[in-house]
């Protein structure tokens, strides 16, 4: 990291911190009197199976209000959550419309198990994703981060819990109608940085003309394949709702529609959603209600990708003499032939190509609550009934996307269903005795999930009109039903839980939880586990010695400890795995079975123990609020596949081995910097957090598992590669010893040598696999910020995020996407490469030493400094005056304009490429060849390009 970058980053952080210091708050100190300054925080947060005053919370809980989420118009609320909360890392795994995002709360714990947090919708565990919930529906999101907060959800909450509370009507409220909608256009954030025709022709010349012109190439051609492929696309969201209530109940009904087209051809995502919520009081002692969220989604064209377009030579002419597009092109001395990917050729396929998925889901919660004769005692029954089904189909006609015009057609069809139910019995006691306040909850619950999935494929479909709807029309020999694609899973979970919260005189708080879970996934004798959690709080502000500190509204100390566990294995893992293999005995064909994974009758839980220490504060009549926290989580008994000796005849066995640790600091600060009498306000917030993740131990006492990229003492997402230290230059010592391959190594990638030296100072060996390094990829710190300015009826807001350090992998520049071969074959990323006249650069000499089809050690070119600061959104809004609205019988009307992804700063990768520095792919996706990266490692690949969106929206209430 260079010093100038650090200086810029530190100046930016210093400016923001200074803005939140008392100089910006001087107005509030003169405006408010002493009595007003003593106002206490009465905000209520959802903590799971109940609510609690924020002042009394002892666990680590972060809250994001629905209004804040709606400041970021987006396809799903995970995008709006990015950068909002310390310790919550949200990253995109795909840039295709409708794609879900990866959420990690306080790091990654499990090596092979699920690291996703539990989502709870209106009190019931939710089997959908946050993308299934419209932001217009949300009242608040509360995130439980430490074990003392998540323990009430047991093993389901081992990776944190996200509590989503939707809007409800109010008792006695007249019907209120709302409309929230936005429409806009998506444009390219930036093209992929590919060479144009003249640069590419020069590259071939500098590479020694390893490849000459192909049949369809000429030196005076300069085809911008991305211009022929990408096109601005529309995005729209429309939401209407009505809510209200009577003296005995309330209701909320809404309908949402969202559609997003992609910049690539024929790709889009569409979602229809219906939500209904009802609460009804019956007499004095009984209440019931239900919530239903139902949606239907259609996703089309997900098989369309950017990679074939990026790989085309810019010297190739895609047009025939009559102006029509060619079917194929031949390039690089006719070594390469490819189908011509353009928007028009793809859109012209019609029935010859289809790739679509349709899904229907219904998530339903029903409850009944009764007041028992003992004052403060209630019984509640929760029932969750969820169903989700999806059907996918694909068809590729004869010769489509293939250089062979007679290549056979192919089709596939899949479907899956999820049936989920949960039943919860809750007994709650809530009572205040003078200075003593007691809240106790007892729970007994049962949960079951059944998942069924199947897929089949076929070749030589007789006609395009069949597409994927009747695969049986294909010849019997061309129909394939792979046993690995036929899945049936069923698992169950039984639980009991007790939690007691005690507060004395609003000064001293205690929360104690005991939870027991029994999982069907684990082995007999290990199915059940009971674990405790305890947290304490001290509201220092309410002590008598603090009464003279009138500028302090809250100063609370918190400490918590707890244990959680994770059933991080697939169902039936205790039983081992039987795999199917076809064989022939003479002229007889048969199918055999063999044990591919050994059973383990001792398989048990992964355990995590967490310590959490926090300080909550509020000053100057709550104008400045914040939190500082430190946590440490150790996870033991990690579930992973352990290799067995070849003599066993088996490949592996799932066992409880290994341990990991996550620890870090979290800071959040929010303030009203200016609140003037003239109507101008300036609110700002910032959060910053660190996470130090490392593997403490692996199976059988090993220090490393190179095949899985796991290394003791390093983070789970570490890489294992050579360390690039520049390029070999003329006159460098020991070049002929360290790189003795035939051909000159001058101008080629120079990597770190870690071997020994002879007495005369010469290296004892050549550079080889022993010189590979373990490279930790985690950032030093990251976070987000938001600011809102308002003057009378106008408001201007922005939301941003930042990251310092870490390793960003861009496969475009490495060896796996075949886009930086520097040989003159295929498209090439626009890089400043070595020549005798241009030696002090990052990229090697064209046509030099190679491994396969890439420069030697070119995998090291994929690694960049991961730092960035970016504005995610800027929104300018105008709220029509209430006096004007009265004549129209409207309650509120706001018009706004939003631009997303407008600015990126301090990013070495953005400076190099012009691209968005955030990953867009899982590590094993969107590359030409097997990369060696794992799916858990997010990278930049040849996925859909990032977009900059311009949206116009309207919020209306009447």
Q: Is the pLDDT of residue 3 over 50?
A: no
Residue 168 backbone phi and psi in degrees, to 5: -130, 160
Strands 749-751 and 124-125: unpaired
Residues 6+ apart with CB under 8 A from 205: none
Question: What confidence tens digit (pLDDT) does each residue in 900-912 have?
Answer: 999 999 999 999 9
What are the tens digits of pLDDT across the range 70-109?
888 887 888 888 889 999 999 999 999 988 899 999 999 9
pLDDT of residue 578: 78
Q: How far apart are alpha carbons 426 and 441 in whole angstroms? A: 7
To which residue do tokens 């190679």 refer?
Answer: 850
Question: What distance in Å separates the CA atoms of residue 269 and residue 97, rounded to the nearest whole number?
Answer: 5
Report pLDDT digits (tens) over 228-257: 999 999 999 999 999 999 888 999 999 999
With 80 as the cut, is the pLDDT of residue 493 above it?
A: yes
- Residue 637: which of 691, 568, 571, 574 has the closest Cα? 568
CB 148 within 8 A of CB 534: yes
The helix (run of H) or strand (run of E) holding residue 203 is helix 197-206
Rounded to the nearest integer, the mean pLDDT of the chain is 90
pLDDT tens per residue across span 186-226: 999 999 999 999 999 999 999 999 999 999 999 999 999 99
DSSP sequence for 762-821: -BSS---GGG-EEE----SEEEEEEEEEEETTEEEEEEEEEEES-EEEBTTTSSSSSS--
At 647, phi and psi to the nearest 5?
-65, -20
Look at the block and give the residue holding tokens 């919860």: 424
**Runs of H (alpha helix) within 48-93:** 66-69, 77-81
The pLDDT tens digits for 363-403 are 999 999 999 999 999 999 999 999 999 999 999 999 999 99
> In terms of Cα–Cα distance, which of 748, 784, 947, 909 is closest to 84?
784
Tokens of 203: 């590259």
Confidence class of residue 941 from pLDDT cuts 50, 70 and 90?
very high
From the CB of residue 435, how many other CB atoms can be counted at a distance below 10 Å? 10
Tokens of 566: 């994770």
Query: In this predicted structure, which of 50-54, 553-557, 788-792, 938-942 has the lowest mean pLDDT?
Result: 50-54
Please count the other Cβ atoms lying within 10 Å of the Cβ belonging to residue 141. 26
- Decide if pLDDT at 37 tops 60: no
Q: What is the pLDDT of residues 266-297, one digit of tens each?
A: 999 999 999 999 999 999 999 999 999 999 99
Residue 556, classed as helix, strand or coil, is strand
Strands 947-957, 892-905: parallel, antiparallel or unpaired by DSSP? Answer: antiparallel
At residue 581, the pLDDT reads: 79
CA end-to-end span of the chain: 54
* Residue linked to tokens 């995130």: 143
pLDDT tens for 707-758 read 889 999 999 999 999 999 999 999 899 999 999 886 678 999 999 999 999 9
User: Rounded CA gap, 468 and 461, in Å?
Assistant: 8
Residue among 785, 781, 753 at smallest CA distance from 769: 753
Contact in structure between 307 and 811 (CB atoms under 8 Å): no
Tracing tokens 């009747």 back to the chain, one arrives at: 470
Residue in the block written with tokens 């129209």: 888
Rounded to whole angstroms, the Cα distance separating 541 from 525 reads: 49
Q: What is the pLDDT of residue 642?
A: 79
Q: Is the pLDDT of residue 532 over 90?
A: yes
Tens-place pLDDT, residues 756-773: 999 999 999 999 999 999
Interval 832-855 mean pLDDT: 94
CB 271 within 8 A of CB 257: yes
Q: Tell me the per-residue pLDDT of 441-465, one tens digit each, with 9 for 90 and over.
A: 999 999 999 999 999 999 999 999 9
d(CA 638, CA 705) in angstroms, rounded, equals: 14
What was the pLDDT predicted at 67?
A: 86
Identify the top-confidence range among 591-600, 888-897, 911-920: 911-920
pLDDT at 42: 59
B/e letters for 723-746, b = 16+ CB within 10 Å, e = fewer, are bbeebbeeeeeebeebbeeeeebb
pTM of structure: 0.90
């Amino acid at each position: 990291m260079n010093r100038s970058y650090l200086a810029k980053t530190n100046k930016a952080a210093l400016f923001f911190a200074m803005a939140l210091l008392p100089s910006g708050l001087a107005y509030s100190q003169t405006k408010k009197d002493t009595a007003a300054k003593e106002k206490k925080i009465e905000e209520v947060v959802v903590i799971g199976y109940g609510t609690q005053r924020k002042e009394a919370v002892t666990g680590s809980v972060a809250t994001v209000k629905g209004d804040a989420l709606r400041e970021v118009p987006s396809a799903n609320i995970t995008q709006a959550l990015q950068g909002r909360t310390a310790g919550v890392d949200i990253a995109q795994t795909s840039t295709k419309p409708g794609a879900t995002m990866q959420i990690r709360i306080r790091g990654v714990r499990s090596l092979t198990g699920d690291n996703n947090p539990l989502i709870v919708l209106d009190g019931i565990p939710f089997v959908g994703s946050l993308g299934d919930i419209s932001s217009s529906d949300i009242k608040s999101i509360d995130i439980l981060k430490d074990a003392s907060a998540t323990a009430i959800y047991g093993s389901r909450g081992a990776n944190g819990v996200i509590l989503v509370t939707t809007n409800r009507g109010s008792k006695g409220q007249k019907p209120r109608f709302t409309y929230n909608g936005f429409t806009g256009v998506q444009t390219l954030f930036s093209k992929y940085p590919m060479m144009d025709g003249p640069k590419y022709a020069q590259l071939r010349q500098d590479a020694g003309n390893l490849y000459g012109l192909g049949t369809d190439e000429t030196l005076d051609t300069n085809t911008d394949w991305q211009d022929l492929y990408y096109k601005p696309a529309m995005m729209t969201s429309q939401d209407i709702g009505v809510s209200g209530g009577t003296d005995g109940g309330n209701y909320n009904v809404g309908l949402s529609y969202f559609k997003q087209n992609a910049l690539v051809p024929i790709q889009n995502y569409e979602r229809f959603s219906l939500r209904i919520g009802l609460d009804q009081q019956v007499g004095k002692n009984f209440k019931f209600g239900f919530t239903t969220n139902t949606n239907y989604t259609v996703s089309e064209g997900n098989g369309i990708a950017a990679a074939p377009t990026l790989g085309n030579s810019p010297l190739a002419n895609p047009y025939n003499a009559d102006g029509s597009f060619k079917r194929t092109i031949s390039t690089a001395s006719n070594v390469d032939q490819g189908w011509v990917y353009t928007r028009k050729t793809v859109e012209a396929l019609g029935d010859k190509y289809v790739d679509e998925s349709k899904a229907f889901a219904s998530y339903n919660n029903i409850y009944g609550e009764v007041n028992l004769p003992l004052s403060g005692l209630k019984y509640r029954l929760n029932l969750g009934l969820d169903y989700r089904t999806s059907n996918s189909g694909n068809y590729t006609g004869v010769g489509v996307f293939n250089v062979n015009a007679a290549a056979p057609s192919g089709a596939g069809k899949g479907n899956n269903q999820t049936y989920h139910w949960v039943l919860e019995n809750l007994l709650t006691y809530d009572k205040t005795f003078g200075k003593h306040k007691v809240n106790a909850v007892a729970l007994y619950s049962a949960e079951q999930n059944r998942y069924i999935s199947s897929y089949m494929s076929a070749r030589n479909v007789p006609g395009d009109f069949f597409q994927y709807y009747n695969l049986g029309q294909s010849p019997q020999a061309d129909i394939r039903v792979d046993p690995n694609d036929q899945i049936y899973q069923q698992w169950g979970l039984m639980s009991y839980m007790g939690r007691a919260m005690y507060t004395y005189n609003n000064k001293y708080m205690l929360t104690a939880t005991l939870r027991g879970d029994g999982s069907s996934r684990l082995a007999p004798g290990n199915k059940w586990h009971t674990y405790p959690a305890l947290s304490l709080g001290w509201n220092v502000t309410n002590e008598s010695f603090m009464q003279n500190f009138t500028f302090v509204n809250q100063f609370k100390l918190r400490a918590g400890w707890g244990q959680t566990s994770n059933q991080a294995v697939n169902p039936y893992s205790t039983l081992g795995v039987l795999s199917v293999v076809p064989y022939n005995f003479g002229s007889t064909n048969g199918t055999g079975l063999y044990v591919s994974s050994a059973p383990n009758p001792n398989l048990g839980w992964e355990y995590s123990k967490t310590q959490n220490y926090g300080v909550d504060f509020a000053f100057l009549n709550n104008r400045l609020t914040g939190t500082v926290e430190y946590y440490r989580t150790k996870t033991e008994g990690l579930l992973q596949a352990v290799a067995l000796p070849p003599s066993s005849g088996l490949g592996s066995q799932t066992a409880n081995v290994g341990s990991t640790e996550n620890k870090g600091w979290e800071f959040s600060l929010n303030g009203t910097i200016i609140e003037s009498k003239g109507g101008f306000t300036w609110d700002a917030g910032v959060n910053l957090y660190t996470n130090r993740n490392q593997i403490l131990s692996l199976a059988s006492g090993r220090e490393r598992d190179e095949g899985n990229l796991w290394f003791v003492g390093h983070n789970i997402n570490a890489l294992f590669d050579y360390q690039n230290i520049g390029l070999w230059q003329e006159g460098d010592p020991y070049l002929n010893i360290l790189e003795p391959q035939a051909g000159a190594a001058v101008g080629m990638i120079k990597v770190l040598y870690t071997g020994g030296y002879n007495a005369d100072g010469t290296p004892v060996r050549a550079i080889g696999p022993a010189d590979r390094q373990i490279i930790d990829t985690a950032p030093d710190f990251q976070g987000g910020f938001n600011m809102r300015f308002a003057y009378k009826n106008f408001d201007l807001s922005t939301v941003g995020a930042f990251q310092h350090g870490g390793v960003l992998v861009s496969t475009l520049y490495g060896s796996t996407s075949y886009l930086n071969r520097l040989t003159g074959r295929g498209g090439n990323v626009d890089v400043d490469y070595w020549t005798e006249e241009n030696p002090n650069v990052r990229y090697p000499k064209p046509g030099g030493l190679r491994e396969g089809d890439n420069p030697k050690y070119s995998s090291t070119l994929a690694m960049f400094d991961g730092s960035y600061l970016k504005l995610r959104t800027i929104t300018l809004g105008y709220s029509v005056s209430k006096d004007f609205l009265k004549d129209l019988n409207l309650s509120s009307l706001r018009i706004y304009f939003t631009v997303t992804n407008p600015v990126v700063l301090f990013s070495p990768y953005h400076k190099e490429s012009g691209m968005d520095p955030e990953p867009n792919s899982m590590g094993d996706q969107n590359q030409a060849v097997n990369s060696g990266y794992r799916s858990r490692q997010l990278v930049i690949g040849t996925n859909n390009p990032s977009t900059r969106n311009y949206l116009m929206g309207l919020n209306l209430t009447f």
